[in-house]
Amino acid sequence: MGSFSTMHWLIVLVIVALVFGTRKLGSFGSDLGSAIKGFKDGIREAEAGPEEKAGTVKPVAALNDAQQTHATPKQ
């Protein structure tokens, strides 16, 4: 009783298709593909490092200036 033959796998696939239906299997495949794509994008962003993300973050000095201009004076 070794590994399964091709005929065994075809029978298993037919049973799975009958139980779940082709629409659920299709949506499962597309969901899995989008999850893998999102994972790859996340890894790519993590490997990019902070030097490529620096353009999207405001410097601390700019934040301090903005807080000072909007602060109300105490009386």
- Exposed (0-12), middle (13-18) or buried (19+): which is 25, by Cβ within 10 Å? middle
Q: Is the pLDDT of residue 63 over 60?
A: no
Q: 58 pLDDT exceeds 70?
A: no
Q: Which domain holds residue 66?
A: 6-70
> By the 8 A CB rule, do 17 and 25 touch?
yes
- Distance from C-alpha of 32 to C-alpha of 16, rounded to nearest angstrom: 17
How many structural domains comprise the chain? 1
Examine residue 75 and state whether it is found in any structural domain, yes or no: no
Q: According to the model, what pLDDT value does residue 46 have? A: 85
47 located within any domain: yes
pTM above 0.75, yes or no: no
